[in-house]
Chains A and B, each alone.
Chain A
Amino acid sequence: MSEPAAAVRLTYREAARQGLRAALASDPRVFLMGEDVGRYGGCYAVTKGLLQEFGPERVRDTPLSESAFVGAGIGAAIAGMRPIVEIMTVNFSLLALDQILNNAATLCHMSGGQVNVPLVIRMATGAGRQLAAQHSHSLEGWYAHIPGLRVVAPGTIDDARFMLGAALACPDPVLLFEHIVLYNMEGELTAGLASADIDHAAIRRAGRDVVLMTYGGSLHKCLAAAAALASEGIEAEVLDLRTLRPLDDAAIMDSVRRTHRVVIVDEGWRSGSVAAEVTTRIVEQAFYDLDAPVARVCTAEVPIPYPKHLEDAALPSPERIRETVQRLLARGGAS
């Protein structure tokens, strides 16, 4: 986890795998645990080859019981290990919700600080692969609601490689969300980069007329929308939130102050979402910098459809983002 990566071309999946390998190689307390992470190589092939490289003590296949193995991970963390628990997707984390909320997030507080739970939970998240209503959730917002947890969403190759390391260094539980449509995304690791922080948002594209705030699987959609808008003379800033709990208020307000118009793109449903929270914080902290109401582009408030054209219609898309920006920039700025 120490030497800087060369600027090579790789997929998000491979970057995540490199992050895991580096963690396993550099700290003997780190081990990996989850359904099909070992022999099968991981549901999304992220952990492929790791069992062969590090052995069954470090890469452990678990029974099909999220509550049990997340609980075991919590226990291991309390006992001084640095477990990386993989929950196959966020959809299945619901079965471990009590463990995550009532144990992992809360034991430090309930023990008066005597017990830390330095647990990292990795989860695939999001929609776009026609996995239908029960397997397409984006629940990052739910978890970002809970004190005691940190929630991060790597949206770039660099973050896929290095956020894990930063998460492992945290004494408290960190949930790390990898969006399923990003796994095949190709790109280059930034040369000379050796780490990432999980405390700050990042401006992925500087702009002037509006800011698109987003995270995870919606980042590349915002960048595509910004490129399309640029050809119309609209310069959109793209702010990658990166950490959903705690939110980087300073970065958010700074973008608002400079652009005066905000579109938040969030794959969760908008009611009670990350987008809703960011909007409220903007109203609280940068109200007088707003030249128009805050707009949100979220998933339609329906269970995620199975047929492709309906799934695509329900999710945020570069086109919907672009149209929202145009409406926002028109007089009145109603979304």
Chain B
Amino acid sequence: MQVDFHLPSLGADMESATLVQWLKKPGEAVHRGEAIAVVETAKGLIDIECFDEAVVGSLIVQPGTKVPVGAVLAQLLSETAGAPPPAKAAVPTPAAAAPARLSPAPLAAAPGGRARISPAARRRAHELGVSVEALERAGAGIVHLEDVEHLAAQAKPPAPDARDAMRIAIGNAMARSKREIPHYYLADTVDFSTARDWLASYNAKVPVGERILEGLLIVKAVALAAARCSGFNGYCRDGRFEPASAVNVGTAIAVRGGGLVAPALLGADRKDLPALMREFSDLVTRVRSGHMRSGEFTAATITVTALGEEGAELLWPIINPPQVAIVGSGRIALQPWVHEGAVVARPVLSLSLAADHRVTDGRAGSRFLRTIAELLATPAKL
């Protein structure tokens, strides 16, 4: 690459010099330390040396010309001179050690191409699994400790952030569930019209802040059913079912941006709907803002998961170990329904159950689902 050759300062009080003679011609090679020109200063004739391995490109200043210190005398073509300072691969880490670094005159790469890597850098590269070839590619010049750290950091996949960690955790739990729990699946469609009408008239009478979501009716119904039907509320550990004394319904709440958590509404069978709604509302707010309590995660004894208005009609959920059942509710949509012999349009809900076959079977599961449906048909009692 092309490099300017400047008139060097040859003394503290030197301001200019006259070029007397060029010792090299364009196209001629000049070696490091070799004299390239003769200049005349107040102290007499002085040879000036070139500090690069180069080939002379063009001579700019003609003999007999007086020029100031620093003036460009010629242009050289050099492989190594003027190369950008060796890849400053590391931005000095702010809080940690690196002091302000001077950028020195670029060092020519050692002829023969052996990489110049400090002993400490080599050892660290070995520790981190950064290859010497990668170090050599890092750039001409010296490779230091910080360069190795930087290279290693680049090579490493970025640490999974919190969302990824959640995905991984969910994945692990679901994989374990599928592996260890023998699931059986049942579904029922339920006429939701009574519940919907009841809720609409209830909500019309209360301010917005006290209104209850449809999904909560389902949660309460599941909670009551779980209290009545044994085998669906509790934990299965080491193949043994441990029924839980309280019904803590885990409610699946989406975390915006991906991810799912299922904190529990504690003692849901014993709380009235307004109380459950308040708690649920608070839970969602805290999930959104990241202020969940650890107890809420470990307490659920059965889970309800709903896809909401945009979801599919029917879902086949996966049990959250060590629980033994999970109830899914699909999209509540108007469907044709037979009522007293005639076909009418009714809001219909598909309820699905996935349960642990080590603890219950299809008959118990059917009964459980039927109980939920019956409770939803008498919403005033929820």
Show the binding face of A for B, using Cβ within 8 Å: 208-209, 232-235, 260, 287-292, 326-327, 329-334
Contacts and interface: CB of A to CB of B under 8 A. Distances in A.
Contact of B100 (A232, A235, A292): A232
Given A291-B144, A291-B145, A292-B144, A329 B99 contact: yes
Contacts of A289: 119-120, 123
B88 to A, nearest CB: 7
A332 B100 contact: no
Contacts of B122: 288
A59 B226 CA distance: 103
Given A288-B120, A288-B123, A290-B119, A234 B99 contact: yes
Contacts of A233: 99-100
Interface stretch (B102-110, B294-302, B306-314): B102-110
Interface residues of B, number: 22
Given A288-B122, A291-B144, A332-B142, A327 B99 contact: no
A327 B119 contact: no
A300 B224 CA distance: 93
A208 B101 contact: no
A331 B119 contact: no
B100 A291 contact: no
Interface string B83-116: 0011010000000011111111001000000000
Interface string B115-144: 000111111000000000000000001101
Given A327-B102, A330-B103, A331-B101, A291 B118 contact: yes
Nearest to A289: B120
Contact of B118 (A290, A329, A330): A290
A214 B121 CA distance: 26
Q: Which of B107, B119, B123 has the most CB of A within 10 A?
A: B119
Contacts of A234: 99-100
24 contacts: A208-B97, A209-B99, A232-B100, A234-B99, A260-B120, A260-B145, A288-B119, A289-B120, A289-B123, A290-B118, A290-B120, A291-B121, A292-B144, A326-B102, A329-B99, A329-B101, A330-B103, A331-B85, A331-B88, A331-B104, A331-B141, A333-B118, A333-B142, A333-B144
Contacts of A260: 120, 145
Classify the interface of chain B: helix, strand, loop or mixed. loop
Contacts of A327: 102, 104
A332 B141 contact: yes
B141 A291 contact: no
Nearest to B142: A332
Given A260-B145, A291-B120, 14 more contacts: A232-B99, A235-B99, A289-B120, A289-B123, A290-B118, A290-B120, A291-B118, A291-B119, A292-B142, A329-B99, A330-B101, A331-B141, A333-B118, A334-B107
Q: Which of A232, A289, A332 has the most CB of B within 10 A?
A: A332
Nearest to A325: B99
A260 B99 CA distance: 13
A292 B147 CA distance: 13
A34 to B, nearest CB: 47
A330 B102 CA distance: 5
Nearest to A233: B99
B321 to A, nearest CB: 48
A331 B118 contact: no
A291 B119 CA distance: 6
Nearest to B90: A331
A260 B118 CA distance: 10
A234 B101 CA distance: 10
A327 B102 CA distance: 7
Nearest to B118: A291
Contacts of A329: 99, 101-102
A88 to B, nearest CB: 40
Contact of A331 (B86, B120, B123): B86
A192 B89 CA distance: 51
B205 to A, nearest CB: 69
Contacts of A209: 97-99
A206 to B, nearest CB: 13
A287 B144 contact: no
Sort A-B residue pairs by CB-CB distance and give the 5 closest, nearest first.
A330-B102, A234-B99, A291-B120, A288-B119, A288-B123
B267 to A, nearest CB: 57
Contacts of A334: 104, 107
Contacts of A235: 99
Contacts of A208: 97
A288 B125 CA distance: 12
B11 to A, nearest CB: 17
Nearest to B147: A331
A291 B124 CA distance: 10
Contacts of B118: 290-292, 333
